[in-house]
Copies of this chain bind each other. A is one copy, B any other.
């Protein structure tokens, strides 16, 4: 491989993502404009990965144990050049929040490294590398956060082996996300799921997935709203999230199209057709968590059509 290095250092915004989108457990995901991690990645002249962080999250500094580091180690194995990367992570997406914190680190590192290497990898390649970071984070090589983080917009993982990523066009959507300040580990949230589901529930779920995909592509907001129903995962996982049912109910009353658990939780997201509704939904969320005295963050944002964004590049 003949790589020319035009850039020496790149800064990216690595955005939060909402996996599952209620009915699409493990297959659907959506990229958000906020929040995002800020990552500075610098090209080194020897085969090594250095991880530094400027946040207080105390994530592993050993590259092999770090969600940004592990994919980069894998990239170094793939290329011949004597290069390495230093990554400085300023995490804004709290780990364990359920909005793709580990995916952002992995995707951000891979997109920045690929750019420093002269864009030698395709988006699909980058997803493959970044999935290695998800394995470090949760023990499972899933792509439902990684894909939208790298492709932008909404993506469907039609198949994970072999990897088949389908970008799903969508109309303008506002997203309100509330993150109650409790931690739900992805691994715990997976463990409480049953290994088998009733065929009749699976049928209901695939009707909703078909409906959601059709609604998104056809700009049919009502169909999107009706399809945001999960009869399999949500009834189990929502028990881990204080006030879940009430929040869902009040947000819909405030005009949200629908929504549910973001990824494995504890964050809850709601989709709205316009900003005013998204703000009313925010108020509804805040009221409930204020009432029960639970600390929380709320974001009102939109679908990020770009994914990881290069915001600064310093030439060599």
Interface presence of A32 (CB below 8 A): no
Interface readout for A204-243 with B: 1 if CB under 8 Å, 0 if not?
1111111111110110000100110000100000000000
Residue A158 is within 8 A (CB to CB) of chain B in the complex: yes
A275 at the interface (CB under 8 A from B): no
The 8 Å CB contact of A214, one of B168, B196, B197, is: B168
Tell me whether A199 is interfacial, beta carbon within 8 Å: yes
A214-B25 contact, Cβ under 8 Å, with A193-B199, A202-B202, A209-B209: no
The reply to whether A206 and B206 form a contact with Cβ atoms under 8 Å apart is: yes
Copies in the assembly, this chain: 2
B-side contacts of A166, CB under 8 Å = 210-211, 214-215, 223
Q: How far is the CA of A196 from the CA of B194 in the complex (A)?
A: 11
Q: Is the CB of B25 within 8 A of A203?
A: yes
A218 to B157, CA, bound (A): 16
Q: Provide the bound-state CA to CA distance between A202 and B230, in Å.
A: 13
The interface residues of chain B lying within 8 Å CB-to-CB of A215 are 166
> In the complex, which residues of chain B have a beta carbon less than 8 angstroms from the beta carbon of A205?
202, 206
Q: Judge whether A183 is part of the interface by a CB distance below 8 angstroms.
A: no
CA of A198 to CA of B232 in the docked complex: distance in angstroms? 12
- Which B residues touch A206, using CB under 8 A? 23-25, 27, 202, 205-206, 209
Interchain CA distance A169-B214 in the complex, whole Å? 9
A214 B211 Cβ-Cβ under 8 A: no
Q: How far is the CB of A183 from chain B (nearest CB, A)?
A: 24
A78 within 8 A of B: no
Contact A210 B158 (CB under 8 A): yes
Cβ of A195 under 8 Å from chain B: yes
Chain B proximity of A18: nearest CB distance (Å)? 16
What B residues does A111 contact at CB under 8 A?
none
Given A194-B199, A196-B197, A199-B196, A210-B210 contact (CB < 8 Å): yes
Is A159 engaged at the interface, CB distance under 8 Å to the other chain? Answer: yes
Shortest distance from the beta carbon of A223 to any chain B beta carbon, whole Å = 6
B25 near A156: Cβ-Cβ < 8 Å: no
- Pairwise interchain contact B168-A207, C-beta atoms closer than 8 A: no
The answer to whether B158 and A211 touch across the interface, beta carbons within 8 angstroms, is: yes
Q: Is A48 an interface residue (CB 8 A)?
A: no
| Contact call A203/B27, Cβ cutoff below 8 A | yes
* B199 & A198 in contact (Cβ 8 Å cutoff): no
CB distance from A307 to the nearest CB of B (A): 19
A4 at the B interface (CB under 8 A): no
Task: Tell me if A207 and B156 are in contact (CB < 8 A).
Answer: yes
Q: Does A164 contact B (CB under 8 A)?
A: yes
In the bound complex, CA of A217 to CA of B232 (Å): 27
- A306 touches B (CB below 8 Å): no
Point out residues on A near B: beta carbons under 8 Å: 23-28, 156-160, 164, 166, 168-169, 193-200, 202-215, 217-218, 223, 226-227, 232
8 smallest CB-CB distances across A and B, nearest first, come from A158-B211, A202-B202, A196-B196, A156-B210, A158-B207, A27-B207, A206-B209, A213-B213
